[in-house]
Structure 1
Amino acid sequence: MTQPTQKSMTIHHAGQQRYTAHNTAGQQIIIDMTPDHPLGVGPMDAVFAALAACSMSDVVEILRKRRTPVQKYRVELTGLRDGEHQPPRYYHYLMRHVVSGEGITQEDVEKAAHLSHEKYCTVGASLNAEVEIEVVLEEG
């Protein structure tokens, strides 16, 4: 059995409904829910971007290993949100992969995308899983 790995991130309140998240390497992302002039993306946009980037990374690597490198690639991602549950959640994602490159066939992309979604993409697997969230409160 493999040992679990741990990843850490610290998120700071930056005023109003704006937050900066920093990973252990010092890189940051701005999560912003202010209605006027947001500086970053909203939380669900960040989830969308993480899901798409995770899958795209897998697809690019799979196609590279098959000696069909990607020249142009985009994902168009849409989600359906359930308004009956509280909090509302996304229950369906449609991920449209648009890929081109010399020698790349639609079958190649389909295989790579399915491998990503079924085997490799940790973001997708996390969204599909029953995840335990433990909350600890500290005075700061």
Structure 2
Amino acid sequence: MAAAAQVMPLAWSAAHVAALAPAAEASPWPMDGVGDVLGGALLYEFTHGRAHALLAVRPVALAGGRRLDVVGLVSDGERMQGAAIDGAAVSIARELDCQALAMCTKRAHVVKTCARQGWEITGMVMAKGI
């Protein structure tokens, strides 16, 4: 039987910001830098067997409830299982009293993995440089 995934909050460090720098590359928003993407986010460490990742999330208070935006995810261990990382995100959302999850990404493999876990594409990001 596989070990259960572990999710623990972490305090931010310069090394964590550097490790999550690829999150800015995955952002669909023009001109976003790593500080823009990660600003105000909470940091969690995900482990599942030999899979290891850092997960940055930002709770957003809205008129209809709270949404948890996944703003950064970087793996530095073995391949993560979609169900385990989705379960971790749902667990964090519940812990932070959020009723929905959201993510913006340019990474097609992340979109496919999320779709297999019940996430829906709810729109498209359009951008134009001026």
TM-score by length of 2: 0.26
Larger Rg: 1
Higher relative contact order (Cα pairs below 8 Å, separated by 6+ residues): 2
